[in-house]
Amino acid sequence: MNGDDIQLHKSSKVSYKNKVYYFCSEECFNHLVKHFTEVAMVPDAFSGDSINKSDALIGLKEKGEPELVYFKNKQTMNEYYEQRNK
pLDDT in tens, the chain (86 residues): 556 666 666 889 999 999 999 998 999 999 999 999 999 999 999 999 999 999 999 999 998 888 999 999 999 999 999 998 87
Report CA-CA distances (Å) from 75 to 30, 47, 55, 65, 71: 33, 10, 14, 23, 9
71, 77 in Cβ contact below 8 A? yes
Indicate the pTM of the whole model: 0.82
CB 46 within 8 A of CB 79: yes
